[in-house]
Each structure stands twice: as C-alpha cells, then as structure tokens.
C-alpha cells in the first residue's frame, strides 16, 4: 500500500489522515512528522499512525509526501528535504495557501512531481472543496492517486494554471466566510423581525444546509431553483428584488476580484 508522509501534523494534516483512516486506509502506512512531541503523541494515540520528529526520516520512506505546514515556514521546512526527495522521488502534494508550484520546485528539486492543492476550511469536517494544479512531471497515475487521497476530505477539481488557482482561492478558498457572513446577517435580520436569537440561528443554518443540499442534488441550475421558489408577487420576490436593487451581483463580483488580487499579491510575497 502507498506510504503517505505528512510534513506538519496540524489541523489540515489531521483532517486528511483522519478522513483516510475513516475510509479504511491502513494507519500503518501513514507517517506524520512534526516538531511537537505532544502533538505526535496525540495523533499516535487517536489514529495509530507512525510518527517522526525528523522530516527527512519520514520522507525517506514515503511514496507520497503531503506538505501541511504554514506557508510562512514552507521554504525553511522543505529546502533541507531536497536530498531525500530527490533520492526517493515521491509524489509531493502541498496544501499550503499561496505557495506556487514554481516556488516549491525552486526550493527543492525541479524534477519532482508536485501537486498544489488549495483546500478550504470545511475540509476539517470532510466537506471541503479543493482546487488542484499539477506540474509537468505529474502523471495520470499521480493525479488519480491525488484524487484518491484528497477525496477523504471532500471534493476536488483540477485547474490548468496558477491564475485559475487564484480564482479557486477567491471562490471556494475564501468562500466559506462569505456564507458565514450571509448567515450572520440573516440571523441578525431575523432577530430584528422578532425571532429569538437561537431560533433565528437554527433556521438560518438549516436553510443554508437545505439550499446547498438541494442545489447539489438537483438536475436544475441554481438560477432555475431560485425562479422555482420565487412566485409572482410573493414574499421571496420582494426579497430578491431588494437584493438585486442593492447590487448583490456586482458586490459579489467585486468581493471575489479583491480576494483574487490579494491571492496574487500573497503568492508574490510568500514566494520571495
């Protein structure tokens, strides 16, 4: 079975390896390296994975290396792994936000097969949406392996270039916060209309979950589903007209463009 080494044993690594084990992956083939003995003991205790404090030792045994450290420390963490990576030639998957394939190759070895993954926070509850980008060394078999691993925390889509990954960052990467903001606003507005705070929260959350489930299961586009529930002269129509009059489409477009621009800026800063 494929041996998967996680460099960094924090939130994202725990989510992916937890999902893998839940789906039946043998924990003996999962290796985790992290400087914190306490974190490693916890992971070993909870998931029975193999643990290391020396990243090189983990890489030396791995067929797949998942880089799950913070972007700010990535260069410092992976440069010393270059020799082990060059010798073993594993598939490298980075989940770090804002670190380009070019930077990852520059900091290690340009002959490596590297996948850059842009996950989002719902990966922590196995409901993530990730964008994936491969370098030229990544084969179809590598892509299949990447999909098989990352589906443990949600859904994946492959994109063609770094710019599309910046768009993924603006859409699904930052997207959960847009929905949290919308839910917050609905709760506050519900309270102003006389509902108890808990009641407004329960209804807003279930409505978001119900709408997302319905839209993902339906054969109809979201626009059609909206039209289906917007009867002429009804209550929904009044709300939708108000949103549109206040420019919701333009607001969303501008917000996502701002996130996209910031993603490009951050990649430049982190890639230095």
Ligand X SMILES: NC(=O)c1ccc[n+]([C@@H]2O[C@H](COP(=O)([O-])OP(=O)(O)OC[C@H]3O[C@@H](n4cnc5c(N)ncnc54)[C@H](OP(=O)(O)O)[C@@H]3O)[C@@H](O)[C@H]2O)c1
Q: Which helix (H) or strand (E) holds 118?
A: strand 114-118
Q: What is the DSSP letter of 234?
A: S
User: What minimum distance in Å lies between the beta carbon of 21 and ligand X?
Assistant: 17
User: What minimum distance in Å lies between the beta carbon of 107 and ligand X?
Assistant: 13
Q: Which is nearer to ligand X, 7 or 101 (CB)?
A: 7
CA pair distance 195, 189, nearest whole angstrom: 9
User: What minimum distance in Å lies between the beta carbon of 1 and ligand X?
Assistant: 23
Phi/psi class of residue 247: alpha, beta or left (left: φ > 0; alpha: ψ in -120 to 50)?
left
Q: What is the DSSP letter of 112?
A: S
Task: Quote the tokens at residue 26.
Answer: 């043998």
Q: Which is nearer to ligand X, 78 or 138 (CB)?
A: 78
User: What minimum distance in Å lies between the beta carbon of 15 and ligand X?
Assistant: 8
Q: Which helix (H) or strand (E) holds 72?
A: none
Q: Which is nearer to ligand X, 179 or 243 (CB)?
A: 179
| Residues at the site binding ligand X, with contacts judged by CB under 6 A | 7-13, 33-36, 39, 55, 68-71, 73, 77, 95-97, 119-121, 124
Task: Quote the tokens at residue 59.
Answer: 């890489």
Whole-angstrom CA distances from 70 to 76, 141, 222 are 11, 28, 35
Q: Which helix (H) or strand (E) holds 129?
A: strand 128-134
- The residue whose Cβ lies closest to ligand X is 10
User: What minimum distance in Å lies between the beta carbon of 258 and ligand X?
Assistant: 18
Among candidate residues 167, 166, 129, the one with its CA nearest the CA of residue 151:
129
Among candidate residues 152, 157, 180, the one with its CA nearest the CA of residue 167:
157
User: What minimum distance in Å lies between the beta carbon of 69 and ligand X?
Assistant: 4
CA 269 to chain centre: 21
Provide the sign of the torsion angle of the four alpha carbons 61, 65, 66, 68, taken in this order.
positive
Q: Which is nearer to ligand X, 55 or 200 (CB)?
A: 55
Q: Which is nearer to ligand X, 166 or 200 (CB)?
A: 166
- Token look-up 């913070």 returns 70
Q: Which is nearer to ligand X, 34 or 166 (CB)?
A: 34
Q: Which is nearer to ligand X, 49 or 95 (CB)?
A: 95
User: What minimum distance in Å lies between the beta carbon of 12 and ligand X?
Assistant: 3
């Amino acid at each position: 079975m494929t041996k998967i080494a996680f460099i960094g044993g924090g939130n994202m690594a725990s989510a992916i390896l937890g999902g893998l084990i839940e789906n039946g992956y043998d924990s003996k083939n999962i290796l985790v390296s992290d400087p914190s003995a306490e974190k490693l003991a916890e992971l070993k205790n909870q998931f029975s994975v193999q643990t290391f404090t020396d990243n090189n030792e983990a890489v030396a045994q791995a067929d797949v290396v998942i880089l799950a450290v913070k972007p700010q420390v990535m260069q410092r963490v992976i440069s010393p792994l270059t020799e082990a990576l060059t010798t073993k030639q594993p598939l490298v998957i980075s989940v770090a936000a804002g670190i380009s394939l070019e930077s990852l190759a520059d900091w290690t070895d340009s002959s490596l097969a590297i996948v850059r993954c842009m996950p989002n926070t719902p990966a922590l509850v196995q409901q993530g949406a990730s964008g994936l980008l491969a370098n030229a060394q990544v084969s179809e078999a590598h892509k299949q392996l990447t999909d098989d691993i990352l589906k443990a925390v949600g859904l994946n889509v492959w994109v063609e270039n770094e710019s599309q990954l910046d768009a993924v960052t603006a859409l699904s990467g930052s997207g959960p916060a847009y929905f949290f903001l919308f839910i917050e606003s609905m709760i506050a507005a519900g309270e102003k209309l006389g509902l108890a705070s808990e009641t407004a929260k329960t209804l807003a959350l279930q409505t978001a979950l119900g709408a997302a489930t319905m839209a993902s299961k339906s054969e109809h586009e979201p626009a059609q589903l909206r039209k289906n529930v917007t009867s002429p002269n009804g209550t929904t129509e009044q709300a939708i007209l108000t949103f549109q009059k206040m420019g919701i489409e333009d607001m969303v477009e501008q917000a996502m463009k701002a996130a996209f621009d910031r993603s490009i800026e951050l990649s430049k800063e982190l890639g230095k």
